């Protein structure tokens, strides 16, 4: 009987996923959930056939060049794969996969939480209750922005964006969107397509960001584009932090040009721009878009499905390099 493939697992995974790893592979687990350095990953990967990382580990061209020759695949526990230099992986012959589709509902839920939480000043309200500084009620107390019936712009109408649109229709929101290509009419379900970002932004009383991290989307929401939003718009990001120019958004939040922001992702997380924490009109979450039991299990199983295909000589379903 041939030996099971050795898989380096860089973070602690759900119990059900680790059980399947033990059954089908020889895993090198991380029970203490340490954040390994690149040097530690290279060392721990000695003799491993594959690596199962998260977005917290960076596989630059330099790291990929130093990986042991035994490593044949990087099966990401994430839908995003901007933490992997896919060009360097391809050049070396490494197979790279991700875990799309299984995060859609959970991430859309967080987007709606951010949207409502930012508009209705949920972070401020909770702090008043927790700090015992809630004094009384009055007609002018904690007045926020109503969500129902407003115009929602979705920047990136992919898998998650389409689910957000469906959820937002439950609040009678009017859906507008921009993507690199227009959806078929049956998929639009009445949503209004805008050919450019600049065309979309002026109609967005609410803007929800759902585009991937690419060279083209880095800093996409900059000062010039934020200025195109209606005064007092609400901005939500449950995609990738790099899409937003932090300095520009913070300036708009301070001036009131943007009334509030709901953010689950950030540049340089967890070392986020410190001014976000100081602003009362931000509703902030620690990158928990996929953090449900069901979704995290599904992500792990999807990553393992890709490894199963690779080690049985088949093309993995979610190959990105």
Q: 64 and 31 in one domain? A: yes
Q: 116 and 260 in one domain? A: yes
pTM of the predicted structure, to 2 decimals: 0.94
Domain assignment present for 318: no
Domain assignment present for 319: no
Residue of 269, 273, 275, 317 marked catalytic? 269
Q: 299 and 222 in one domain? A: no
Domain assignment present for 221: yes
158-185 residue pLDDT tens: 999 999 999 999 999 999 999 999 999 9
Q: 132 and 263 in one domain? A: yes
Q: 272 and 124 in one domain? A: yes
Domain assignment present for 153: yes
Active site residue 224: no
pLDDT greater than 70 at residue 2: no
Active site residue 55: no
Active site residue 287: yes
pLDDT at 1: 41
CATH number reported for the structural domain that contains residue 227 in this entry: 3.40.50.720
Question: Which residues are CB-contacts of 267 (< 8 A; sequence separation ≥ 6)?
Answer: 241, 242, 244, 246, 273
Residue of 121, 176, 178, 287 marked catalytic? 287
Q: 94 and 111 in one domain? A: no
Domain assignment present for 68: yes
Q: 159 and 128 in one domain? A: yes
Count other Cβ atoms within 10 Å, centred on residue 61: 13
Q: 111 and 242 in one domain? A: yes
Q: Supply the range of the domain harboring residue 81.
A: 6-102+293-311
Q: 98 and 223 in one domain? A: no
Number of domains making up the chain: 2
- N- to C-terminal Cα separation, the chain: 31
Question: Which residues are CB-contacts of 310 (< 8 A; sequence separation ≥ 6)?
Answer: 50, 72, 73, 75, 95, 97, 316
250-262 residue pLDDT tens: 999 999 999 999 9
Residue of 28, 225, 240, 302 marked catalytic? 240
Q: 239 and 151 in one domain? A: yes
Residue 206: closest CA among 129, 151, 260: 151
Question: 204 vs 131, 150, 185, 233, 264, CA distance in Å?
Answer: 34, 9, 21, 7, 20
234-279 residue pLDDT tens: 999 999 999 999 999 999 999 999 999 999 999 999 999 999 999 9
pLDDT at 199: 98
Q: 185 and 201 in one domain? A: yes
Q: 132 and 223 in one domain? A: yes
> 75 near 290, Cβ under 8 Å?
no
């Amino acid at each position: 009987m041939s030996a099971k493939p050795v898989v380096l697992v860089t973070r602690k995974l759900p119990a059900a996923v680790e059980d399947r790893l033990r059954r089908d592979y020889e895993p090198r687990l991380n029970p203490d959930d340490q954040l390994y350095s690149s040097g530690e990953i290279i060392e721990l990967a000695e003799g491993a056939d594959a690596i199962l990382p998260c977005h917290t580990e960076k596989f630059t061209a330099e790291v990929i060049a130093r990986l042991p020759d035994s490593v044949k695949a990087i099966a990401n526990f994430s839908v995003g794969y901007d933490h992997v230099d896919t060009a360097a992986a391809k050049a070396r012959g490494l197979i790279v996969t991700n875990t799309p589709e299984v995060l859609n509902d959970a991430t859309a839920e967080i987007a709606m939480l951010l949207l409502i939480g930012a508009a209705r000043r949920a972070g401020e309200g909770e702090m008043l209750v927790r700090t015992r500084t809630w004094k009384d009620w009055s007609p002018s107390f904690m007045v926020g922005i109503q969500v129902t019936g407003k115009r929602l712009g979705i920047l990136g109408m992919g898998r998650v964006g389409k689910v957000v649109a469906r959820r937002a229709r439950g609040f009678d929101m009017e859906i507008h969107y921009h993507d690199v290509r227009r959806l078929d009419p049956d998929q639009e379900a009445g949503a209004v397509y805008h050919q450019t970002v600049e065309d979309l932004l002026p109609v967005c009383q609410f803007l929800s960001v759902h585009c991937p991290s690419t060279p083209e989307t880095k800093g996409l929401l900059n000062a010039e584009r934020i200025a195109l939003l209606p005064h007092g718009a609400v901005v939500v990001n449950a995609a990738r932090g790099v899409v937003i120019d932090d300095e520009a958004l913070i300036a708009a939040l301070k001036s009131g040009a943007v009334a509030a922001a709901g953010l689950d992702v950030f540049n340089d997380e967890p070392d986020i721009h410190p001014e976000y924490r100081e602003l009362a009109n931000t509703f902030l979450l620690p990158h928990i878009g996929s953090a449900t039991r069901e979704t995290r299990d599904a992500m792990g199983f999807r990553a393992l499905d890709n490894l199963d295909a690779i080690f049985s000589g088949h093309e993995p379903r979610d190959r990105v390099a």
